[in-house]
Amino acid sequence: MKVAVTRSGGFAGMVRRAEVDSADHPAVAGLINDVRLDEVPAEPRREPDRFVYDIQIGDRSARIGEADLQGPLRELVDHVMTQGS
Amino acid sequence: MRCTIVPPHVLEHVAGGHGDEQVRELVQRTLTLDNEQRLTRDAAQLIAQPPPPTAPAAANRTLHDAGHQESLPGRTVRSEGGAATGDQQVDEVYDWLGVTFDFYNVAYGRNSIDGGGLPLVATVHYSTNYDNAFWEGSQMVYGDGDQQIFKTFTGPLDVTGHELTHGVTQYAGGLDYQGQSGALNESLSDVFGSLVKQYHLGQTADQADWIIGQGLFTDSVHGVGLRSMKAPGTAYDDPNLGKDPQPAEMAGYVDTDSDNGGVHINSGIPNHAFYLAATAIGGHAWEKAGRVWYDTITSRRVPTGADFAMFASMTYATAGTLFGVKSTESDAVRDAWTKVGVKIT
């Protein structure tokens, strides 16, 4: 399953995108089961110069502010951003 | 306002500890009398005199080290007046907070971020490879950068000026951080971030580089900085990062969902308007153009959802109040907004 992360915002305002196929990343495959995208707040917090993440897991997606990014979702994002292409 | 030669705390010490009963009694009476006189004097001053001048504004800085973790504020490493620590990031931020404090105080008579002497709190070494700095609502936070693309965010003075201005905007009533009001919020931070740097360097509008984040990129990046107020869209053009996406005019306004509606992209438009106004007026940009923008945002009349046209019209009105409706300054402000395609109503 394709897992993609797009990070925007921050002082620099630059957009960074990375994706992985969970078939190639066992850690991601495991985290997907723990992640609850439907529990992400409906509207991301709008705070100056914080990062905003758009997360896509297969056909599901969510937008979340940096300050709310915790737990398995944070691990998933970190993994994709550092290991993905 | 106290004129006694022996300070009250010394008298209190003597009154409590002196072995001679007569001395203790005498001192105790002096204290009582002193207090009565002070109360009488204070009451008289309340009636007869204007309020005493407030104490000279002075920065009250505290620096913390997050130790590459993410809990705030982290370990305290330097307080106001404390010696340099030898940690470059700590000492840079300590200095830049001081310069930014002085700028707002000297240029606009503002005592700190809130206008009421708010202590300046900052945390450095936040997280790992963290490519960002932000105003958290009550304090500053700085990352060390990844050292591949970004150097430490503590380096450039305008980063600190930018972030503390988010605090000023917040205390002035705020601008919703999305769409055009969000881009105005961003632009105000770039404007005053650049002005802090120009003030520090003693530059006039034509001497300034009008670059935001000069010195933030490593040598591997093709670019002079993150944003150019003089020529939005030209700050960097790099094989890995792509090209600076900022428009200079409304015709190039970018509609997007990301970055809270492109607040760091469309800020190029009001940024360029400020640059045009400041260079048309000439001299030190913080004195006239900066004063117009500052008085506008702190007027408490700017709605939190203001768009470019509304803010532009308010700066034009402010320029008229400060310099006269037919002044060259007012004309410069109106022409600047017109050139970037924002109509003053």
> Over the stretch B225-265, which tens digit does the pLDDT of each residue have?
999 999 999 999 999 999 999 999 999 999 999 999 999 99
> Is A49 in the B-facing interface, judged by CB distances under 8 Å?
yes
pLDDT at B287: 98
Query: Under CATH, what is the fold of the domain B175-345?
Result: Neutral Protease; domain 2 (1.10.390)
d(CA A7, CA A18): 9
B163 chain-A contacts, CB cut-off 8 A: 11, 48-49
Of chain B, the percentage scoring pLDDT greater than 70 comes to 84
pLDDT value at B11 more than 50: no
Q: Is A15 part of the contact surface with chain B (CB cutoff 8 Å)?
A: yes
B68 is catalytic: no
Mean pLDDT for all residues in chain B:
90
Could you tell me the CA-to-CA distances from A50 to A80, B41, B114, B302 in Å, in that order?
19, 52, 21, 24
Identify the pLDDT of residue B47. Answer: 52
Which of the following is catalytic: B125, B162, B166, B264?
B264
Say what the pLDDT of residue B232 is.
98
**Predicted pLDDT of residue B53:** 55
The pLDDT of residue B269? 98
- Residue B328 in this model has a pLDDT that exceeds 60: yes
Q: Does A51 have pLDDT greater than 90?
A: yes
User: Exposed/middle/buried for B110, CB within 10 Å: 0-12, 13-18, 19+?
Assistant: buried
- Residue B264 appears among annotated catalytic residues: yes
Of A6-10, A59-63, B15-19, B115-119, where does mean pLDDT reach its minimum? B15-19
Q: Mean pLDDT throughout B69-79?
A: 97
Structural tokens at position B103: 């700028």
pLDDT of residue B3: 41
- Domain region containing A53: 2-83
Total domain count, chain A: 1
Region A66-75 average pLDDT: 94
- Mean pLDDT value across residues B50-69: 84
- The architecture of the domain spanning B54-155 is Roll (3.10)
* ipTM of the prediction: 0.94
* Strands of the A60-65 sheet, one edge to the other: A16-21, A2-9, A51-57, A60-65
Mutation for B interface: A7, A11, A55, A61, most B CBs within 10 A? A11
Q: Which residues in chain B touch residue A49, judged by CB atoms under 8 angstroms apart?
A: 132-135, 163, 166
Tell me what pLDDT residue B19 has. Answer: 53
CA distance B5 to A70: 60
Greater confidence, A39 or B290? B290
Residue B328, Cβ neighbours under 10 Å: how many? 14
User: Nearest CA of chain B to the CA of A61: how many Å?
Assistant: 14
Rounded to the nearest angstrom, the minimum Cα separation between B264 and chain A is 5
Compute the average pLDDT of residues B305-310.
Answer: 98
A11/B134 Cβ within 8 A: yes
Longest CA–CA span in chain A (Å) reads 36
Question: Beta partners for A8?
Answer: A52
Residue B202 has pLDDT above 70, yes or no: yes
Alpha carbon of B94: minimum distance to chain A alpha carbons (Å): 20
Residue B330 has a pLDDT of 98
